[in-house]
Amino acid sequence: MMTKPMSLEQVAEAMVAPGKGILAADESSGTIKKRFDSIKIDSTEVNRRDYREMLFSAIDAMRSSISGVILYDETIRQKAKDGRPMPELIASTGALPGIKVDKGTKPLPFCPGDTITEGLDGLAERIKDYVALGAKFAKWRAVYDIGLKVPSWSSINANAHALARYAALCVEGGLVPIVEPEVLMDGGHDIDACEGVTEWVLREVYQQLYYARVPLEKTILKPNMVISGMKCPKRASREEVAERTVRVLKRCVPPAVPGIAFLSGGQSDEDATAHLSLMNQLGPLPWRLSFSYGRALQAAALKAWGGRPENVAAGQRAFAHRARMNGAASLGKWTDEMEKAA
């Protein structure tokens, strides 16, 4: 008997299912090369395939803690060692395959220090291609630095407009859009500056989504947390990060949005987990709070694997541990003791 395909609302709900989150495995060729350089292996297509297949075939972790996987264009077209397309391998674990569709950032003219994300040209046709390859959702990332005179209003407005156009094209084409406006935690700014810029960015993003007539029930938000810059001498506590982040989200994100899957943005593995858990303890909240982590889910697994076939099981154990910790955090149930016990 044929099963009825999931609606976009059902896909969005499944992406933020209780106790689960999204694995961001959509590193560009340049980013994955830096990761591989750290373990001294070449960034070849085969090595990239083997590394990602190690993660996707960690069956227990995928089934229990991962709701979806964001893929890069190369990966969605690759096949696993057994000949199955990567999206099929992911779907066999119960997770949803997704795809990064933006073309990266470029300097925004006349706005020093600001960037604009490109990739709208031809996006409708690319979406058709990705749907045919098995994708169920997509991701587009806008980036905002905090510094002297940045971000500018021009940057915030231009990126919000691009995010809204992307989201509208995705919904029209049959993909749930992950809307990712990332206020970077680089630099020396304090948590007050991050809170102000994050609120400004989110207000403009939701204004543009409204103008673009995007049905919010078919979308997921992937924001930064409100956090001190990495070079700021005064570090905000984990509790303050959680409280301020939830405060900004309550001000800006309509309850129609099914869920918010945070990016980790350079935080340590444990900080990203702890912050998420503390936020979920501040409920009840109008949306589910989950994770969409890349490095914070993968760093330990990458190190344990080290590019060696005999270390695949060790890499999968490291990945499973971080996935379980973040799954618990998405329920507000993570503790320091759980890390120590592992």
What residues are annotated to the active site? 180, 222
DSSP strand E in the chain: where? 21-25, 66-71, 96-100, 105-107, 115-117, 137-144, 176-183, 220-221, 259-262, 288-293
Residue pair 107/150 in contact (Cβ under 8 Å)? The answer is no
Is the bond leading into 5 cis (omega within 30 degrees of zero)?
no
The label of the residue with tokens 């905090």 reads: 146
Residue pair 56/88 in contact (Cβ under 8 Å)? The answer is no
CA–CA–CA angle 128, 133, 135 (5° rounding): 80
Residue 305 to residues 60, 244, 271, 297, 325, Cα–Cα distance (Å): 18, 37, 23, 14, 19
Q: What is the DSSP letter of 235?
A: P
Residue pair 181/142 in contact (Cβ under 8 Å)? The answer is yes
Burial of 258 (0-12, 13-18, 19+ CB in 10 A): buried
Q: Residue 76, SS3?
A: helix
For the chain, helix, strand, coil in percent to 5 are 50, 15, 35
Residue pair 323/68 in contact (Cβ under 8 Å)? The answer is no
The label of the residue with tokens 């709070």 reads: 289
- E strand or H helix at 214, and its extent? none
Residue 25 to residues 51, 147, 214, 319, Cα–Cα distance (Å): 10, 29, 26, 12
